[in-house]
Amino acid sequence: MEAEVKTNVIKRNGEEVTFDISKISNAIRAANKEVEHIHQLNEYQIEAVAEKIARRVTDYTHAVNVEDIQDMVETGIMEMRGYEVAQKYVRYRYKRELARKSNTTDNGILSLIDQANEEVKQENSNKNPVINSTQRDYMAGEVSRDLTKRVLLPEDIVRAHEEGIIHFHDSDYFAQKEHNCDLINLEDMLQNGTVISETMIEKPHSFFTACNVTTQIVAQVASNQYGGQSFSLAHLAPFVDISRQKIRKSVIEEREACGEPLDEAIINKVTERRLAEEIRSGIQTIQYQLITLMTCNGQAPFVTMFMYLDEVPEGQTRDDLAAIIREVLVQRMQGVKNEKGVWITPAFPKLIYVLDEDNIHEDSKYWDLTQLAAKCTAKRMVPDYISAKVQRKLKKGSVYTCMGCRSFLTVEETQKNPDGSYKFYGRFNQGVVTINLVDVALSSAKDMDAFWKILDERLELCHRALRCRHERLKGTVSDVAPILWQYGALARLKKGQKIDELLYNGYSTISLGYAGLYEMCKYMTGRSHTDPEAKDFALAVMQRLNDKCAEWRAAENISYSVYGTPLESTTYKFAKCLQKRFGIVPGVTDKNYITNSYHVHVSEKIDAFSKLKFEADFQKLSPGGAISYIEVPDMQNNIPAVLSVMKFIYENIMYAELNTKSDYCEVCGYDGEIQIVENESGKLIWKCPNCGNTDQDKMSVARRTCGYIGTQFWNQGRTQEIKDRVLHL
């Protein structure tokens, strides 16, 4: 009788399927037929081999790779003394391997079209893998990956990436000479004009036009890079007064034409009413266009809007910026209507609101804005918060936004604006390579001397991989992306000019990512890094990463920086690779995910304020970017609690967010939290607690996963991580 096996098998194309014992038996029978009768195994022997493998597979607590099963088949046949059969099986396996190597790209693309590749299909929680534009991007990505592995990267780096020792990010874009993320210099483009699709765009003559141009710039930038981008609403603020003067002139002309008295109070009142309507229309243009636009990579632009009052001079311009921010928050609280006409939470634009002295206290001038931000966070999960007070301490007095979700530029003495302030807008990131700290720990077998030695070796591997990213961008001519390199988004180089000068001297950064600090500590010390006895070790590891970046930077004049990697699908990949290399280690590899960067483990019970205070020490050691979060219940009826968290952020940590839930079931209209449950085969699925609906196409689920909101569901590893989260408030 065949054993009932529920363990899953990971196929070579990334698809995860249920183990099927008949495939073992059939493979042995096929090899068996190829040898003379005298050397063949009998049916009982074939079944015995298959049964033994089934029992071994059942003992696994995680999905088994198909290569592991094939190794078991070879061993099983040999144990039955079926040497000739084993020889035929090995030869068949070798031929299949050669065929696959010559055809990996074809198979990868076909698995995408057939919706079978789970790894790629759920790689990005904001890309719908069904639609043509996404599939087209993924197909191009498969070609890029293939070229990257076979031609563009050294073999040892490819092998380390595939084994989960490091992660070479965005290999699906590496063949093209594209960079990661940036802060677009919207001020330069709006004030001095730009060119979009060979069309001259002059300085806008109204706030509404400036908003329209901004959406076009964002779309063009998104189509010429693969990472996130940010722009500041402060760069739009001056256009409010341009519209004010234009409207005022029109109001006066209308009143003169109608013979109305030119009463100053009436003129001002009518002007401000019409101006408020223009601000509303302009912000609606930005929010709706950015949500509905689809760039060439099959998703809405990954864009962040930065809201910092003190970025503009005090007085009318700052009040105008406050009016813009207020409108952004009001419209985001409302949300957007989905195809069923239901108001839901959009993923983008991401919003960041800066907390400072003029908005953080009850008697601050802009306290009402902060209250509105708190209400918006409670309902729609944004904005996130930057503490101007803490950032000034960490960033040489500067306050500025990240590039997308968390990647921060470094403060550079070599990069300053004409007024002497540090330059940030127009700068960018060259790319990321992440070290798997859990693998370093497990490879050391708890020998601390071995740990530090292996860490240095792996860091050097990351260094060489990062140099590959850097060298790939060198020699790129500005013509490949005029909006970026020629027309102001990042620079104003001449046609035919290479971007090389922007890769050195601090203009751009390149990021050493890290993952699994918690699991690393757990294995090496037996404790979480929140334990005082383990915290110093965790901080020492973080310091080593920073020391290495400083060493490379001094030698090469390239701005290496430590980056708290936002693992999305990679959290699952790393976990699976660790299980394959080291088996199940309790508390370390016994889940289908590993922890993002320095974060406290999602299941660890810790209150919100302790978590933020603890993680602040680690955020300091991630100058290239990091974000902390707390998990909270529905806070819409407890805004004072949200405000108390915001005040704590202001005093204690540079960059943080509140994770709440924002779901909707289309079957029954339930708008509470959609739950994660196990189905009969052990797979994690989403289920409406009100009506039992499990059809993902008939529900809207929004969760923060990596510093930004995801709305397209996630792989099994990330889904388990979401399920395991505990509340901090």
pLDDT tens sequence across 477-520: 999 999 999 999 999 999 999 999 999 999 999 999 999 999 99
Verify that 186 and 79 share a domain, yes or no: no
DSSP notation for 343-356: EE----SEEEEEE-
pLDDT of residue 590: 93
Q: Which of 335, 360, 394 is the last residue of a domain?
A: 394
Token pair for 343: 């108001």
Which H or E element spans position 250?
helix 238-257
Alpha carbons 715 and 572: distance in angstroms, whole number: 8
pLDDT of residue 3: 43
pLDDT of residue 133: 65
Q: Is residue 260 part of a domain?
A: yes
Verify that 209 and 346 share a domain, yes or no: yes
Q: Is residue 532 part of a domain?
A: no
Verify that 189 and 319 share a domain, yes or no: yes
Verify that 258 and 369 share a domain, yes or no: yes
Q: Is residue 42 part of a domain?
A: yes
Q: Is residue 3 part of a domain?
A: no
Task: List the chain residues with pLDDT less than 50.
Answer: 1-5, 121-126
Verify that 368 and 220 share a domain, yes or no: yes
Verify that 236 and 346 share a domain, yes or no: yes
- Greatest alpha-carbon pair distance for the chain in Å reads 113
Strand, coil or helix: 330: helix
Cβ atoms within 10 A of the Cβ of 434, count? 26
State how many domains the chain has. Answer: 2
Counted residue by residue, the chain has a size of 729
Token pair for 286: 């930005």
Verify that 223 and 89 share a domain, yes or no: no
The answer for residues whose C-beta is within 8 angstroms of residue 610's C-beta and 6 or more apart is none
Q: How many CA atoms lie within 13 A of 603 on its CB side?
A: 12
Cα 606 to chain centroid distance, Å, stands at 25
Alpha carbons 430 and 697: distance in angstroms, whole number: 37
| Cα four-point dihedral sign 248, 254, 259, 260 | negative
Alpha carbons 411 and 17: distance in angstroms, whole number: 48
- Contact between 558 and 503 under an 8 Å Cβ cutoff? The reply is yes
Verify that 208 and 74 share a domain, yes or no: no
Q: Is residue 441 part of a domain?
A: no
Q: Is residue 223 part of a domain?
A: yes
pLDDT digit string, tens, across residues 80-116: 888 888 888 888 776 776 666 555 556 655 655 555 5
Cα separations (Å) of 690 from 94, 126, 559?
Answer: 52, 26, 52
Verify that 96 and 188 share a domain, yes or no: no
Cα 240 to chain centroid distance, Å, stands at 33
Verify that 257 and 390 share a domain, yes or no: yes
In degrees, rounded to 5, the angle at the alpha carbon of residue 279 between the alpha carbons of residues 222 and 289 is 30
Active site residues: 180-181, 403, 405, 407, 429, 563, 568, 707
Token pair for 96: 């299949």
Verify that 221 and 370 share a domain, yes or no: yes
Give the CA dihedral 211, 213, 218, 220, nearest 10 degrees: 160
Q: Is residue 543 part of a domain?
A: no
Q: Which of 74, 102, 130 is the last residue of a domain?
A: 102
Q: Which of 61, 81, 102 is the last residue of a domain?
A: 102
Verify that 186 and 98 share a domain, yes or no: no
Structural domain range at position 356 = 182-193+203-394
